[in-house]
Amino acid sequence: MSNMLAIGASGVRAYQGALTTTSENIVNAGTAGYVRRTAQQREVTGAGAGLLTGNAIAGSGVAITGVARAADMFREAAVRTAEADAARTDTGLVWLDRIEGALTMSALDDRLAAFFNAGQAVAADPSATAPRAVMLEQASALAASFRSTGSSLEAALADLDAEAGLAAQSLTSLAAGIARVNAGLSRTSAGSAGQASLLDERDRLLGEMSALIDLDVQYDTAGRASVRAGSAGGPLLVAGDQAGNVTFARNAEGAASISVQRAGQTAVAPANGGKLAGLVDGVARVVDALAAVDTLAADFVVSVNAVQAGGEDMAGAPGGDWFAGERASQMQMVLGDPRGIAAASAGAGARDNGNIAALAALRDSGGFEDRLVEQVGVNAAAIDGRRVVAQAQDAIRTSALAARGALSGVNLDEEAVDLMRFQQAYQASSRVIQIASEAIQSILDIR
């Protein structure tokens, strides 16, 4: 009878633990990062006297050996890779859109066309002041458009620096979190609920890290993660309970890089995925666009001023500079008097239009409008290409998440069935204890 009591008691304990685990699954069905758990059970055996087999191994009940997570490291790695790839592309698209806005919102192409068209009106009647005044207004508007375009791109670059710095700080904090989880796993018993919670937190943190940079992750037998940033050959970001520090920087040429400082050494992380990789891509795109606009502005200033210097204004004096500024954001119109437009060739008189005709020729030879249109077109083509890639990566990410969810996600219908099954087993085990107790009492009553 004592065996019956022990068997019943073991069942009560085991199924109480199973009920607790199932209840945890149900309660956390909507919790981000929670992985479904199951209570692992085994038969308890021991030596005893068998009626037919003599000295044989007899069943002695059931015991919970631990809590198992329905997780798969390969599916987790697939999700991290998909997240990193999608984050890079999505981030890059944000800054390509920002470049497109900077190149088009100030209507720089329209302002260039309006300036040269105003020059043609002056050429038609060089001695009239009204066309000259209009051309001066168009020149002022053009300078403002150049400034706005250049300033917008410079502001985008400053915003990129700030956002990348914050992303690097976030990655540093997440790495420190992984180090703390590793330390906790070192002190936690295998198969315990505490270990399961720490492993959930580990995977959640790794998922957030992969959205910032692609990772190479290795695990030891205790589940502790060693994390390299960028690739398998990248710098070690987390090892044991020690984490590195991540920084973002740009060199004098504007090229951006991600570095990891750990254990007194600094190494560049070859970021191929994640938000930081997208920000590095964005920096390269903005730097190129800004350089193209600055070069366009500088060439325009030098070329127009050269044409202006080759002619005479209405007073017969050599033409002064139209514009000043070495970068787009610095461009200013410095010609303040419409009569100062040098429309005439040297010595030809105020009614001559020989020099303003040279400005029309500069429109073709300088190709300013065509260069701007080309820059806008290159950026637009990059946006279209990235959007196609983004759609494919979203599909891959969705598939990876579905595959992981099919294994580790909580299905409330299944959990409800388990809940009833374990409850019935618990009640049956309780009934075994009750019957054994009643039998023992009956024997005692006979005595």
Determine the pLDDT at residue 15. Answer: 84
> 145 with 293, same domain?
yes
Residue 63 φ then ψ, to 5°: -140, 150
What band does 377 get if pLDDT is binned at 50, 70 and 90? very high
Q: Is the pLDDT of residue 208 over 50?
A: yes
* Confidence label for 58 from pLDDT (cuts 50, 70 and 90): low
357 and 413 within one domain: no
The single residue listed with the structure tokens 């087993």 is 425
**Lowest mean per-residue pLDDT among 22-26, 209-213, 306-310:** 22-26
Q: Whose CA is closest to 342, among 138, 114, 122?
A: 122
190-212 average pLDDT score: 93
- What is the C-alpha to C-alpha distance for residues 352 and 231, in angstroms, rounded to an integer? 69
Residue 22 placed within a domain: yes
Single pTM value for the model: 0.86
Cα end-to-end span (Å), the chain: 16
State how far Cα 237 lies from the chain centre: 18
The sign of the torsion formed by the CA atoms of 420, 422, 427, 432 equals positive
Domain final residue, candidates 355, 378, 401: 378
* pLDDT of amino acid 102: 95
Distance (Å, whole) CA 407 – CA 71: 7
Q: Are residues 65 and 121 in the same domain?
A: no
pLDDT, tens only, 85-103: 999 999 999 999 999 999 9
pLDDT band at 41; cut points 50, 70, 90: confident
Q: Residue 50 has what pLDDT? A: 41
Q: Considering the domain boundaries, does residue 175 fall inside one?
A: no
Q: Are residues 440 and 293 in the same domain?
A: no
Confidence band, pLDDT 50/70/90 cuts, at residue 232:
confident
pLDDT of amino acid 51: 38
Give the Cα separation of 80 and 404 in Å (integer).
11
How confident is the model at residue 447, as a pLDDT? 60
Amino acid at site 6: A
Q: What integer pLDDT is reported at residue 161 of this predicted model?
A: 94
CA distance linking residue 398 with residue 447, whole number of Å: 72
> Is residue 109 a part of any domain in this protein?
yes
At 59 the pLDDT is 67
Task: Please list, in sequence order, all residues whose beta carbon lies within 8 angstroms of the beta carbon of residue 69, skipping any fewer than 6 positions away.
Answer: 35, 36, 37, 196, 199, 200, 408
10 or 313: which leads in pLDDT: 313
Residue 53: the pLDDT is 42
Range of the structural domain that residue 44 is part of: 2-69+409-446
Under the banding of pLDDT at 50, 70 and 90, the label for residue 46 is: low
- Structural domain includes residue 77: no
What is the model's pLDDT at position 168?
Answer: 96
Q: Is 33 part of any domain?
A: yes
Asked if residue 63 and residue 24 are part of one domain, the reply reads yes
Task: Look at residue 443 and tell me whether its pLDDT is greater than 70.
Answer: yes
Tell me the pLDDT tens digit for each residue of 257-303.
Answer: 999 999 889 999 998 999 999 999 999 999 999 999 999 999 999 99
Asked whether residue 430 falls in the same domain as residue 361, the answer is no
Q: Is there a domain that residue 324 lies in?
A: yes
- Comparing CA positions, the residue from 89, 73, 87 lying closest to residue 403 is 73
Residue 434 domain-assigned (yes or no) = yes
Mention every residue, 6+ apart, whose C-beta is less than 8 A from residue 116. 359, 360, 363
Q: Is 112 contained in some domain?
A: yes
**pLDDT grade for 435, boundaries at 50, 70 and 90:** confident
Buried b / exposed e across 235-261, counting CB within 10 Å, b at 16+? bbbbbebebbbbbbebeeeeebbbbbe
Structure tokens that stand for 230 in this block: 């960028």
Handedness of CA 327, 329, 333, 334 (dihedral sign): negative
Query: Is the separation of the CB atoms in 344 and 84 below 8 Å?
Result: no
C-alpha distance from residue 78 to each of 74, 89, 217, 233 (Å) = 6, 17, 12, 19
Whether residue 325 is found in the same domain as residue 372: yes
Closest to 230 in 3D by CA, of 187, 289, 155, 171: 171
pLDDT of residue 48: 46
Q: Which has the higher per-residue pLDDT, 9 or 361? A: 361
**Mean pLDDT over the full length of the chain:** 90
The count of domains in the chain is 2
**pLDDT score of 2:** 53
